[in-house]
Amino acid sequence: MTTAEIRRARRRGTAALAEREVLRVLRLWNQTIAPSVVSAALFIVVFGVALGASIRLIDGVPYERFIVPGLVLMGVATSAFGNTATSIFQARNDGFIEDPASSPMTATQLLLGYLSGGVVRSLLIGALTLAAARVFVSYPVEHPAVLAAALAGTSVAFSALGIVVGLYSTGWDQQNVVGNLVIQPLVFLGGVFYSIDALGQPWRALTHADPIFYMVVAARHGMLGASEIDPRLSVGVTLGLAVAMLGWAWVTFVRGVGIRT
């Protein structure tokens, strides 16, 4: 094959892999999208609408409005990780991953193909959660570009992390450990339901060590214009983590982890 033919084959392979991952999400929408949106809506009703009258204001923002950005980001993070981790490990279990891995596609193209499903799923969940929240809570979007950067950075970071975990995992239980015992606690302790200003030491310092805190603050600044820390720092950490996770996933593909024995 000529160089041009190889390039065309690689592009077709990447497009086909990305299409497969995205269609998997869309065809199973009642499993991949609806549950996360419904859960977020229930959180808003229970914690925001029901308890909002008691808690009232957080940093000058009504409580039911304050929690919306964090709940949106929580759905984006958990769904992005779960999608790619599950898809990669299932592909390894079924032997499917050997086909794209043995094709002319590069590690970068494999990464883009598998990443697409997690990114599309998580951003759809984020958009639909915002729409569902509007039914119960009125909220502004003060800085749309910042909100978009926060959600996109979170989506890419956790989709890439899911690829790494899916490639390294030797069983479903390992994915559950990372998802339930690492990511979920970090999400809940990342300021989704409370302001860091209400915390004393050492809890405030521990929250500052939580990377998801910066993602939540970036999303909250994008929506409400409020921020407990410099928004440039929160957006910078979010995008920096996305780049770092992408690099880790790329290196994992280059090394053939979970693909070549």
Tens digit of each residue's pLDDT (9 = 90 or more) over 181-220:
889 888 888 888 888 877 777 878 888 889 999 999 999 9
Residue 1's pLDDT is 65
Amino acid at 32: T
Gap between the Cα atoms of 92 and 87, Å rounded: 9
Binned at pLDDT 50, 70 and 90, residue 238 comes out as very high
Please identify which residue in the block is written with the tokens 């592909």: 91
Residue 49's pLDDT is 66
Q: Is the pLDDT of residue 171 over 60?
A: yes
Gap between the Cα atoms of 22 and 107, Å rounded: 19
Residue 52's pLDDT is 57
Residue 8's pLDDT is 81
Gap between the Cα atoms of 104 and 120, Å rounded: 25
Find out whether 218 and 242 touch, Cβ atoms under 8 Å: no
Chain-centroid distance, C-alpha 56: 29
Gap between the Cα atoms of 124 and 63, Å rounded: 25
Residue 170's pLDDT is 85
Tens digit of each residue's pLDDT (9 = 90 or more) over 38-84:
998 888 888 766 665 666 677 778 888 888 999 999 999 999 999 99
- Please tell me the least confidently modeled range out of 10-24, 44-58, 105-119, 133-147: 44-58
Gap between the Cα atoms of 200 and 35, Å rounded: 35
User: What are the boundaries of each domain within the chain?
Assistant: 3-255
